[in-house]
Amino acid sequence: MAKKTEAAPAQLTLKPLDDRVVVQPTEAEEKTSGGILLPSAAQQKPQQGKVVAVGPGKLSDAGTRLTLAVAVGDIVLYGKYSGSDVEVNGSEFKILREGEILGKLAK
């Protein structure tokens, strides 16, 4: 399996719509805390990542845009089977609705 490369937000050609958020998942742990190397089949899929793009917000019934609670650069947690996996310019991303994000890590 090829390593994912960190894509700069300026190179991202993917623009999310409404309340969707584009997240770049963090790398899976290759070692245990005891130093044992894990084969790629045993590595757990990460459930956190860095927000690289956000949509303009959901359109309310009144016709105004609701602002999102996350911003570019936030580290967020999401459910194991949340969102859709996509590949853009050779990098893997996950597109989530704001409601699928469980929380964000404090800086």
pLDDT of residue 80: 86
The pLDDT value given to residue 96: 94
Taking the C-alpha atoms of residue 70 and residue 83, their distance in angstroms, rounded to an integer, is 16
User: Distances in Å between the alpha carbon of 87 and those of 7, 14, 32, 67, 93?
Assistant: 11, 10, 28, 26, 6
The CATH number that applies at residue 96 is 2.30.33.40
Per the domain annotation, does 34 fall within a domain?
A: no
The count of domains in the chain is 1
Which of these, 76, 68, 69, 107, lies nearest to 93 by C-alpha position? 76
Can you tell me the distance from the alpha carbon of 69 to that of 62, in angstroms, rounded to the nearest whole number?
20
Type of residue found at 3: K
Domain carrying residue 94: 16-25+39-104
Here the tokens at position 91 are 């990098």
Which residue's structure tokens are 């999401």? Answer: 78
Instruction: Judge if pTM exceeds 0.85.
Output: no
Low-confidence ranges of the chain (pLDDT < 50): 1-10
